[in-house]
Structure 1
């Protein structure tokens, strides 16, 4: 897969993280809690795209 195609597939994930429902930009979690939340969202997103 070329680099553009990889980037194109990542863009929807970042949109979901920011404004597409998870709203991580306005999340008040910090440190380990924030990292755990991001990991959980990334796993959930990965499971739903396949």
Structure 2
């Protein structure tokens, strides 16, 4: 996906919204999603 993203940037396509990156809630949302992913991996590992 990194190669696709780099190719899009090179081609002049930028899907990043700067106002979202400067918003504090974007960090909170990312941290929450990361915590949910960690909890999922822990529960999945404990199951098997």
Q: What band does the TM-score fall into relative to the shorter chain?
A: 0.3 to 0.5
Q: Relative CO higher for 1 or 2, CA cutoff 8 Å, sep ≥ 6?
A: 1
TM-score by length of 1: 0.40
TM-score by length of 2: 0.42
